Amino acid sequence: MRLSALYRYPLKSAKGEALQQIGLDKLGLQGDRRWMLVDEASGRFLTQRAVARMSQLSALWNEQGGLTLSASGHARLEVALPTADAPLRGVTIWQDSLRVPDAGDEAAAWVSQFVGKPTRLVQVPLERARSTAAGYGKDDDQVAFADGFPLLLIGQASLEELSGRVGRPLEMLRFRPNLVIEGSEAFAEDGWKRVRIGDVEFRVVKPCARCILTTIDPQTGERSGDREPLATLQKYRANEHGAMFGQNLVNDGAGQLQVGMPVTVLE
């Protein structure tokens, strides 16, 4: 088995970027989901679930930790990493409430125009990261603005098996994985507990419950009229927690990943 693709999503729920190599830190892939849009009034997080056109928003991470925002009909904007004395904003993501640096008024004006209502752009440094979902992993596991865990892994064969059931090819980016594995059987990842990619070990902590976001075409931002592939997943991959596709991972330690690296199942 080998690592066949790497994806990073610098801004939660915006476009993903394919990578050939990337470093890992305490919160997963460096620069992954360290930024987020929130409703200005409530501080509640915004995603494609409510703002489907976020799938058409490009947010590229730079080596200084900032973002380059771009979208059709909008001028490109460079957003700097907030300084240590940047104002903090109270935000809510799922059940977690935290205070994180705000990216400033220029960025807020840009994202507000894109979203169509008053919106703020926020960033999470390591020292303000959330704990992962209770009952999974270790007590000191942390996550940035990903839904629950730092990393998501999907087997290429699992996507191909699902595509066959749906009756048309499905884009991997519908499912927003970080790590794609080639050379395993369909859904083999369901039975993994620990894997090694290159020199880095990962714990498989929880299957990923899928939502309506999977029905949004990542190329056009349009929702599928037949609710696919979620409808098919609900028929044969559902349990009491939802329709499962992919596995959430936590990396044990830092390191480097590169497409093509061997993948070994340790447990």
Average pLDDT over the chain reads: 95
CA distance 170 to 161: 10
Residue 135 is predicted with a pLDDT of 79
Banded model confidence at residue 101, pLDDT cuts 50, 70, 90:
very high
The half-sphere exposure of 116 on its side-chain side, counting CA atoms within 13 A, is 5
Q: Where are the domains of the chain?
A: 2-27+132-265, 32-129
pLDDT above 90: residue 222: no
Q: What mean pLDDT do residues 26-49 have?
A: 97
Banded model confidence at residue 96, pLDDT cuts 50, 70, 90:
very high
Computed from CA positions of residues 195, 197, 201, 205, in that sequence, does the dihedral angle turn out positive or negative? negative
Q: Which amino acid is at 33?
A: R
Residue 63 is predicted with a pLDDT of 85
Residue 225 is predicted with a pLDDT of 83
Size of the chain, expressed as the number of residues it contains: 267
Annotation: CATH topology of 2-27+132-265: M1 Pyruvate Kinase; Domain 3 (2.40.33)
Tokens of 143: 């996550």
Q: What mean pLDDT do residues 195-209 have?
A: 96
Q: What mean pLDDT do residues 84-113 have?
A: 97
Please tell me which residue, 78 or 221, carries the higher pLDDT value.
78
Judge if pTM exceeds 0.75: yes
pLDDT above 80: residue 134: no
CA distance 9 to 29: 9
Nearest to 196 by CA among 155, 245, 251, 246: 251
